Amino acid sequence: MVRRNPERRAALVDAAIEVLAKEGARGLTFRAVDIEAAVPPGTASNYFANRDDLLTQAGARVYERLQPDEETIARQRASTPDRETYAVLMREVVGRVSAFRTGYLALLELRLEATRRPKLRAVLTERVRADIEANMAYHEESGLPGDATAVKLLYLAFNWLIVEQLTLPEVLSEEERERLVTAAVERIVQP
């Protein structure tokens, strides 16, 4: 029997994200999710068919929570589409993603777990592809300068910048990270 209370389900998936970040993929059990969500033992196992289902939903939920809000989108749409705006936008994206620390760390755990679980790998591959394609579509629609190659190169550089910040925050100072975001846009986005 799979339970259908959507709020309870969302709370359990959010708890799974926290467990993934804190304990690693190996620490993600239904019992650990129940404890994190402060619900009675056995609750998570009523909501998810199996561990793959839980891992998959946790990944999808991180992407959902990383979407910009309406206000941010409206503000971006109202800006002049030039390289300065591009740099501001990229600083916002890097800031938003790294601020959801446990979500990003959970995604890294899921990527490593995907090397051991073909089903999870297939789901994450589709999700990451969709994310890159959404970035390219957003870019095209926005009228911002640069091409699809620039979108991909910035995706690569900023993902590792976030890994660096969240795993070994003393390697690059905050000032250095900000400087690298601006430099990346200036060099990679051709006028």
List residues binding a second copy (CB under 8 A): 21-27, 105, 108-109, 111-116, 121, 124-125, 128-129, 132, 149-150, 152-153, 155-161, 163-164, 166-168, 170-172, 179-180, 183-184, 187-188, 190
- The amino acid at residue 68 is P
* Closest separation in Å from C-beta 177 to a second copy: 10
Q: How far apart are CA 144 and CA 189, in angstroms?
A: 9
Report the residue number, 37 or 150, with the smaller CB distance to a second copy: 150
Report the residue number, 4 or 116, with the smaller CB distance to a second copy: 116
Report the residue number, 73 or 112, with the smaller CB distance to a second copy: 112
Percentages helix, strand, coil for the chain (3-state, rounded to 5) are: 80, 0, 20
Report the residue number, 5 or 125, with the smaller CB distance to a second copy: 125
Q: Determine how many CB atoms are found less than 10 A away from the CB of residue 13.
A: 24
Are the C-beta atoms of residues 49 and 2 closer than 8 Å to each other?
Answer: yes
Closest CA to 108 of 79, 128, 82: 128
* Closest separation in Å from C-beta 54 to a second copy: 17
The CA angle 150-111-158, to the nearest 5 degrees, is 30
* Closest separation in Å from C-beta 161 to a second copy: 5
Are the C-beta atoms of residues 90 and 181 closer than 8 Å to each other?
Answer: yes
Report the residue number, 88 or 153, with the smaller CB distance to a second copy: 153
* Closest separation in Å from C-beta 138 to a second copy: 18
Q: How far apart are CA 79 and CA 46, in angstroms?
A: 47
* Closest separation in Å from C-beta 131 to a second copy: 9
